[in-house]
Copies of this chain bind each other. A is one copy, B any other.
């Protein structure tokens, strides 16, 4: 495991020559700087400060072998996997590590852990896959006697599958691949593929209200939750699995997205589908980002959207093709046609559309969608760009590690708004990122894609790069703040799929208003009266 980065240590996503050349050109770097992470035993960890009585009570709750205080466990739970998290880890900063990692194996054990933490005033961080990119799993212990990460990996059972109702009840600690394997054995799929799919968990998806790459078709995780169970310090609360109800406010929607500040989600009943027997992923080329967005809007409002729908702006198109054309033997040839077409037009915007289902369904839908995209100015590029995207859909976090090795700042952020407000939001956010980074002296590269379509609007996903400053965290904070302020001013949501965590908490007042914050605080006071659950997250201090 790559404690300082993403995934497994052996897995390397190389940067092809064409991409390296592009990076040198747009960022103005010579590519010679290398910044390698320190060794694990070099990571500076704070002295554990958990009171002995608390440690004993936790060991009683889950068994001594499930309370871990070793270096490896503490470092692995010190942060999530955001850019600033990795900058800190790579430099040996483990100052946010929990005092202990606790691994409960049942609802009762979770309740016992929470009771111990209430008694000894220990802050609790619910921990699934640890892939948060917004500081959602980083312990914040100010004012507490200590911090523990409650790692849910032992809650990994498939509780039940109801094939008639297409419902699967899964424990929260199940990872994405494990959940899909269990469903596939029954001919089913959830179809939820965030970029973190390989390492994130069912509980994490629900706690963070996540969107997946195929959410345009399969729905966001909040649309897939039929019911759930949460263990809070005040007791267990459930939202019964129901297809729909008119019985008052929907409390399920208060627990989904609660990011660990109300309690520990331990079990979720999810709406699943028959596993697709066929799929088709295609590339399309539009003359401009505006043209492509308009075609996507018309498609979505005609109920003709594919399951995956992504549209890159000019900058991201250029970036994607540079990475794709150099990526291994034969790839250049396979994508050559698209590349040449982009070059011939001088610019262009690449779209990826993907259909899943049975063969007849896929064919019927792609013909209808294709007609609309063509009418909207799109040029079909065939299956190669689509298949290439599918092949590398989870590669970006690995690539980030390579860029960090080369002292390059790379981060992403995302938002959403109505179709009529989308262009303004796009320009405002991109301009803010370019200005904030440029003013500090770096030459920034900012790119964007539309990634989730709704009848009323869409999401925008930005990636920004620059040569790292010496104080990489200050540089990142300046860019993040400028972008967030621009998003708020342009009426976008502060996050469409990464959640709030620590990094967006400052903008929650703008997002939901002071009374909105009061409502979340009111729920927290009932479920977590001692205030031990994931302090510092979601709510601004």
Contacts and interface: CB of A to CB of B under 8 A. Distances in A.
Interface string A473-496: 000000000000000000101111
Contacts of A508: 247-248
A246 B454 contact: no
Contacts of A518: 234, 526
Given A253-B254, A416-B242, A527-B515, A538 B248 contact: yes
Interface string A243-269: 111111111111111110000000000
Interface in A480-520: 491, 493-500, 504, 508, 511-513, 515-516, 518-520
Nearest to A234: B515
10 contacts: A167-B418, A220-B244, A237-B519, A241-B456, A245-B416, A247-B493, A247-B511, A248-B258, A249-B523, A254-B254
A301 interface: yes
A400 interface: no
A532 to B, nearest CB: 17
B254 A519 contact: yes
A456 B246 contact: no
A393 interface: no
Interface stretch (A205-213, A284-292, A433-441): A205-213
A273 interface: yes
Given A271-B455, A301-B274, A515-B527, A249 B253 contact: yes
Contacts of A526: 515, 518-519, 522
Contacts of A222: 250
Q: Which of A251, A253, A458: most chain B Cβ within 10 A?
A: A251
A419 B162 CA distance: 9
Q: Which of A166, A234, A248: most chain B Cβ within 10 A?
A: A248
Contacts of A417: 242-243
A208 B246 CA distance: 7
A498 B245 CA distance: 9
Contacts of A459: 243-244
A117 to B, nearest CB: 19
A162 B418 CA distance: 9
A99 interface: no
A413 to B, nearest CB: 12
A541 interface: no
A80 to B, nearest CB: 15
A250 B257 CA distance: 8
Given A250-B256, A250-B257, 17 more contacts: A165-B421, A165-B457, A209-B250, A222-B250, A242-B493, A245-B496, A246-B257, A246-B498, A246-B500, A247-B500, A247-B508, A247-B512, A248-B538, A249-B257, A251-B520, A254-B254, A519-B526
Interface of A: 162, 164-167, 208-211, 220, 222, 226, 232, 234-259, 271, 273-274, 297, 301, 416-421, 452, 454-459, 491, 493-500, 504, 508, 511-513, 515-516, 518-520, 522-523, 525-527, 538
A471 to B, nearest CB: 29
A310 to B, nearest CB: 16
Contacts of A244: 211, 220, 416, 452, 454, 457, 459, 493, 496
Given A522-B523, A522-B526, A210 B246 contact: yes
Contact of A495 (B167, B246, B513): B246
A257 B248 contact: yes
Q: Which of A242, A243, A419, A518: most chain B Cβ within 10 A?
A: A243
A249 B258 contact: yes
Nearest to A241: B418
A77 B273 CA distance: 47
A452 to B, nearest CB: 7
A445 to B, nearest CB: 25
Contacts of A165: 418-421, 456-457
Contacts of A250: 209, 222, 250, 253-254, 256-257
A164 B242 contact: no
Given A249-B255, A249-B523, A523-B249, A457 B416 contact: no
Nearest to A516: B251
A43 to B, nearest CB: 30
